[in-house]
């Protein structure tokens, strides 16, 4: 570049032309390198161009513009990020996990638009951080994180350092203002390099590329972000003032033409079967990609039809995430224990050497039943593969046979119930061993323990040991019997002072007023967690109506799958269960919901939420502010008053305490979902 120095005397006009030429050249090579992955010049040649541009800009500072390639890193570190409100909220996606669920999704959509032919557009579902970029007159003016979808953080200075994001775009008919949305990713190979360097320097290792991408974007100092090799894949147009294409496929093609990085593997599909093939192909290629994906996204291609289908809550009916199977890890199975469930089922479970799966430490896993263990030839002492999907309990897929040493032992089901010592039976055609002793304390005990627990009927003062005593002395046989107890009966019990007897009776009486959702949850129906119970209560508002619901009606509820629907339906067809409902009804337990919301009442009133671990999408103060704005309290430590714990990666003692206290624990995604839902309840209009 020595010859360039000769031109020190360049006139301003010549300099201006040369600067423009150099910028165009650098932009072209940036695009070739960062967007198309096909560089045409060496790094040395590229650096020479950039050096020359810098030199000219130093000589003629008036020529510097914010979209010059020399200006990617600019500005001082900030104290905190400004909150920005998204003009059009960023939506979420519903999930499906298999072809049947995908077909059900299509059926639901088709029913709404009879006679319309749907073309799909298939994309990868990137596992990174969602951002929104605003361009005004072709220049990038703002970059924001997704945040809650309604509000995010202004990370413009940081996103400007991402080389696959054009600082300006040009071409015919570009809308005066528009917003592009996409996902910031950390390339997997670079992630490995970064961790190796950190390890050598004795620094903390990062957990995964996704959180590292999020962490890199949310650095207060853009210099740090600039040093991270982030990439952006663009997947939609948020909004635009001006003419834009009428389909998703044409939109992405247009955005690709403007210089944005759009996945070349995106494909149109004329039928759902084609979309399923796209999924299979993507799944096969997943490991060969240098960035994280956790499924594919299938979108209705036509915006006209998208508008017809609309949005439910925060999830569009016109798009769905078809997720890959859950993440797996291997660890040693130390012991197999057996629990007696609420229905008398003997449930074997594995105690594991703790292992991290999808950012969560797993110590236990379900083994379902004896056949499951036999079929997979799982032995005590084996190294096993563990899988965790969403929030469900982890399961063991099978042993790593090559890792066997010969000291592993086979498991056999105990012939008698570990609780009541009566013989267990395995009925014809059933995989489950059951204790059929109706007086087995374990069964009733598990059910009643669940009934009185905090997330269910919250009967303070009736703890596990009291439930055990009631059962042992025959005072109660089921949950409804709790309401027949008297102070005198309780005071007769060992170690029971009259005062505590009175407290327990008061607490039992008080529980009759618990919301319907809690009553439904308290019944202990398989697969009906607190969230599902809430949805059922909201939908039916009445126990009798729920009991009468058909399986089809139940599975029509958007978030309820066929397994849950089947479980609920079957539960209400059992004589014993109906008798229990009748007894609860006679005792005065709420069976119907009258939703009365006092003015100023907020959805999270009375909730005490503790945030722990690292959050990807939100800053801690932002999350706490959201909790407070919805009427909740943001607690600093986990106590028995804590109603919910939001745990991110690297959560430590608070998470352990929450597990000990059996406080409900959710992750950040679930938290954001609940925030969305609460916003809807208080009438924040999102669309």
User: Using CB under 6 A, which residues numbered 214 to 243 contact ligand IVH?
Assistant: 235-236
User: Interface with ligand IVH by CB under 6 A: which range of 119-127, 357-365, 530-538, 620-628?
Assistant: 119-127
Is 587:512 a contact under the CB 8 Å cutoff? yes
Q: Site mask, ligand IVH, residues 505-524, x = CB under 6 A?
A: --------------------
User: 183 or 667: whose CB is closer to ligand IVH?
Assistant: 183
Asked whether position 483 contacts ligand IVH by CB under 6 A, the answer is no
Phi, psi angle pair for 216, to nearest 5°: -70, -35
Nearer to ligand IVH, 143 or 632 (CB): 143
Closest CA to 230 of 238, 240, 219: 219
Strand order in the sheet with 644-647: 633-635, 608-612, 644-647, 665-666
Reading the block at residue 90, the tokens are 């960023």
Phi, psi of 464 (to 5 degrees): -60, -40
Residue 93 CB, shortest distance to ligand IVH, in Å, is 4
**What's the min distance (Å) between Cβ of 129 and ligand IVH?**
7
User: With 0-12 CB in 10 A as exposed, 13-18 as middle and 19+ as buried, what is 117?
Assistant: exposed
Q: Which of 338, 372, 331, 365 is nearest to 350 (CA)?
A: 365
Cβ closest to ligand IVH, residue 72 vs residue 86: 86
- Binding part of the chain for ligand IVH, among 90-98, 104-112, 444-452, 503-511 by CB under 6 A, reads 90-98
Nearer to ligand IVH, 29 or 125 (CB): 125
Diameter over CA atoms, the chain: 104
Candidates 34, 126, 470, 572: give the one binding ligand IVH (CB under 6 A).
126
* Of 125 and 160, CB closest to ligand IVH: 125
Q: Which of 316, 344, 348, 635 binds ligand IVH (CB under 6 A)?
A: 316
Size of the site for ligand IVH (CB under 6 A): 15
Pick from 482, 337, 309: which is nearest to 419 by CA? Answer: 337
Shortest CB 320 distance to ligand IVH, Å = 9
Find the part of the chain contacting ligand IVH (CB under 6 A) among 48-56, 91-99, 150-158, 479-487.
91-99
Of the two residues 92 and 479, which places its CB atom closer to ligand IVH in the complex?
92
Residue from 226, 252, 297, 444 binding ligand IVH (CB under 6 A): 297
CA angle 164, 168, 173 (to 5 degrees): 115
What is the smallest separation between the CB atom of 123 and ligand IVH, expressed in angstroms? 4
- If one asks whether residue 91 binds ligand IVH (CB under 6 A), the answer comes out as yes
CB of 184 to ligand IVH, least distance (A): 9
468 is catalytic: no
Q: How far is the CB of 234 from ligand IVH (least distance, A)?
A: 9
With CB atoms as reference, the residue minimizing the distance to ligand IVH is 130
Tally of CB atoms within 10 A around 360: 17
Paired strand residues for 46: none
Among the listed residues 30, 52, 179, 183, the single contact to ligand IVH using CB under 6 A: 183
Q: Which of 52, 106, 123, 153 binds ligand IVH (CB under 6 A)?
A: 123
Q: Which is nearer to ligand IVH, 316 or 648 (CB)?
A: 316
Q: Residue 176 or 312: which CB sits closer to ligand IVH?
A: 312
If binding is defined by CB under 6 A, does position 93 make contact with ligand IVH? yes
CB of 660 to ligand IVH, least distance (A): 32
Of the candidate spans 242-250, 276-284, 315-323, 555-563, the one that interacts with ligand IVH by CB under 6 A turns out to be 315-323
From the candidates 125, 299, 323, 654, give the one annotated as an active-site residue.
Answer: 125
CA distance linking residue 162 with residue 650, whole number of Å: 27
Task: Give the interface segment with ligand IVH, choosing from 88-96, 161-169, 382-390, 550-558 (CB under 6 A).
Answer: 88-96
Site of tokens 């263990």: 373
Q: What are the structure tokens assigned to 435, written together?
A: 């204790």
**Choice from 298, 319, 448, 452 touching ligand IVH (CB under 6 A):** 319
Q: How far is the CB of 53 from ligand IVH (least distance, A)?
A: 34
- Determine which residue in the list 130, 194, 444, 519 makes contact with ligand IVH, applying CB under 6 A: 130
Q: What residue spans of 573-667 are helical by DSSP H?
A: 575-587, 620-629, 653-661
Measure the CA–CA gap between 396 and 341, rounded to whole angstroms: 19
- Residue 323, classified by CB atoms within 10 Å of its CB into exposed (0-12), middle (13-18) or buried (19+), is buried
- Pick between residue 313 and residue 541 the one whose CB is nearest to ligand IVH: 313
Nearer to ligand IVH, 287 or 594 (CB): 287
Task: Choose between 125 and 449: whose C-beta lies nearer to ligand IVH.
Answer: 125
Angle value at C-alpha 637, between 635 and 639, nearest 5 degrees: 95
Residue from the set 23, 86, 125, 228 that interacts with ligand IVH by CB under 6 A:
125
DSSP string covering 461-512, please?
T--HHHHHHHHHTTS-SSGGGGGG--HHHHHTSTT--HHHHHHHHHHHHHGG
- Phi-psi bin for 147: left (phi > 0), alpha (psi -120 to 50), beta? left
Task: Quote the least distance from Cβ 316 to ligand IVH, whole Å.
Answer: 5
Site for ligand IVH in 146-165 (CB under 6 A): 146
Residues 321-360, interacting with ligand IVH (CB under 6 A): 321
Distances (CA, A) of 585 to 292, 479, 513, 516: 51, 12, 12, 12
268's CB contacts (< 8 A; 6+ apart) are 119, 120, 121, 122, 249, 301
Q: Nearest distance from residue 569's CB to ligand IVH, in Å?
A: 30
Nearest-CA neighbor of 120 among 301, 342, 246?
301
Smallest gap from Cβ 125 to ligand IVH, in A, equals 4
| Interface segment toward ligand IVH; rule CB under 6 A; list 46-54, 124-132, 201-209, 397-405 | 124-132
Q: Taking CB under 6 A as the rule, which mask of x and - marks residues 557-596 in contact with ligand IVH? A: ----------------------------------------
Distance CA 11, CA 687 (A): 54
Contact in structure between 442 and 451 (CB atoms under 8 Å): no
Stretch that binds ligand IVH, among 123-131, 349-357, 390-398, 522-530 (CB under 6 A): 123-131
Dihedral pair phi/psi, residue 132, rounded to 5°: -125, 130
Instruction: Using alpha carbons, select from 625, 621, 664, 659 the residue that is nearest to residue 646.
Output: 664
**What is the chain's percent helix, strand, coil content, to nearest 5?**
40, 20, 40
Distance (Å, whole) CA 384 – CA 529: 28
Least distance from C-beta 626 to ligand IVH, angstroms? 17
Of the candidates 368, 377, 330, 375, the residue with the CA atom closest to the CA atom of residue 352? 330
Of the residues 92, 251, 479, 511, which one makes contact with ligand IVH according to CB under 6 A: 92
CB of 126 to ligand IVH, least distance (A): 4
- Residues tagged active-site: 125
Residues that bind ligand IVH (CB under 6 A): 91-93, 123, 125-126, 130, 146, 183, 235-236, 297, 316, 319, 321
């Amino acid at each position: 570049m020595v010859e360039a120095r000769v031109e020190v005397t360049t006139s301003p006009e010549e300099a201006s032309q040369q600067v423009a030429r150099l910028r165009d050249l650098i932009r072209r090579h940036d695009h070739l390198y960062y967007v198309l992955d096909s560089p045409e010049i060496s790094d040395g040649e590229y650096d020479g161009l950039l050096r020359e541009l810098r030199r000219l800009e130093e000589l003629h500072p008036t020529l510097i513009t914010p979209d010059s390639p020399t200006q990617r890193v600019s500005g001082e570190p900030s104290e905190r990020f400004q909150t920005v409100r998204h003009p059009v909220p960023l939506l979420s996606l519903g999930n499906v996990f298999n072809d049947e669920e995908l077909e059900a999704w299509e059926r639901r959509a088709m029913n709404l638009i009879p006679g319309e032919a749907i073309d799909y557009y298939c994309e990868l579902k990137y596992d990174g951080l969602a951002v929104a970029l605003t361009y005004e007159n072709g220049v990038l003016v703002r970059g924001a994180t997704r945040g809650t979808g309604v509000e995010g953080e202004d990370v413009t200075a940081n996103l400007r350092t991402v080389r696959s994001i054009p600082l300006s775009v040009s071409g015919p008919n570009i809308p005066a203002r528009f917003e592009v949305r996409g996902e910031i990713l950390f390339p997997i190979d670079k992630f490995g390099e970064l961790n190796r360097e950190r390890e050598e320097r004795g620094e903390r290792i990062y957990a995964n590329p996704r959180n590292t991408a999020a962490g890199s974007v949310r650095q207060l100092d853009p210099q740090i972000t600039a040093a991270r090799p982030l990439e952006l894949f663009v997947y939609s147009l948020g909004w635009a003032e001006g003419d834009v294409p009428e389909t998703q496929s044409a939109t992405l093609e247009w955005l690709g033409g403007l210089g944005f990085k759009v996945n070349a593997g995106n494909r149109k599909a004329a039928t759902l079967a084609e979309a399923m093939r796209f999924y299979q192909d993507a799944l096969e290629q997943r490991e060969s990609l240098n960035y994280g994906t956790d499924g594919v996204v299938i979108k209705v291609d036509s915006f006209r039809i998208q508008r017809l289908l609309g949005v439910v809550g925060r999830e569009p009916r016109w798009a769905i995430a078809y997720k890959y199977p859950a993440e797996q890890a291997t660890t040693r199975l130390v012991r197999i224990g057996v629990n007696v469930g609420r229905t008398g089922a003997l449930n074997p479970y594995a105690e594991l050497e703790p292992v991290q799966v999808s950012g969560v430490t797993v110590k236990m896993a379900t083994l379902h039943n004896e056949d499951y263990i036999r079929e997979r030839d799982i032995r005590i002492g084996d190294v096993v593969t563990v899988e965790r999907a969403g929030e469900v309990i982890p399961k063991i897929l099978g042993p790593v046979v090559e890792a066997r040493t010969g000291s592993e032992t086979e498991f056999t089901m105990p012939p008698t119930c570990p609780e009541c010592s009566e013989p267990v039976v395995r009925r014809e055609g059933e995989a489950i061993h059951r204790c059929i002793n109706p007086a087995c304390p374990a069964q009733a005990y598990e059910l009643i323990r669940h009934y009185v627990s905090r997330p269910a009927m919250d009967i303070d003062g009736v703890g596990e040991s009291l439930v055990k005593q009631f059962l042992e002395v025959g005072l109660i046989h089921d949950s409804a019997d709790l309401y027949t107890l008297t102070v005198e009966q309780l005071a007769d019990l060992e170690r029971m002072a009259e005062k505590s007897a009175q407290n327990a009776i008061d607490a039992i009486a008080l529980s009759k007023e618990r919301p319907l959702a809690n009553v439904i949850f308290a019944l202990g129906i398989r697969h009906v967690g607190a969230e599902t119970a809430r949805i059922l209560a909201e939908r039916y508002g009445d126990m009798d109506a729920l009991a009468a619901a058909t399986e089809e009606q139940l599975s029509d509820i958007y978030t309820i799958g066929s397994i849950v629907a089947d479980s609920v339906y079957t539960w209400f067809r059992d004589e014993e269960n109906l008798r229990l409902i009748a007894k609860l009804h006679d005792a005065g337990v709420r069976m119907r919901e009258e939703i009365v919301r006092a003015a100023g009442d907020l959805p999270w009133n009375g909730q005490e939420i503790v945030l722990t671990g690292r959050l990807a999408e939100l800053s801690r103060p932002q999350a706490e502010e959201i909790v407070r704005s919805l009427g909740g309290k943001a607690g600093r430590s986990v106590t028995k008053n804590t109603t919910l714990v939001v745990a991110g990666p690297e959560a430590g003692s608070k998470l352990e305490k929450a597990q000990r206290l059996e406080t409900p624990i959710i992750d950040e995604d679930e938290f954001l979902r609940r925030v969305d839902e609460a916003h809807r309840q208080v009438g924040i209009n999102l669309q």
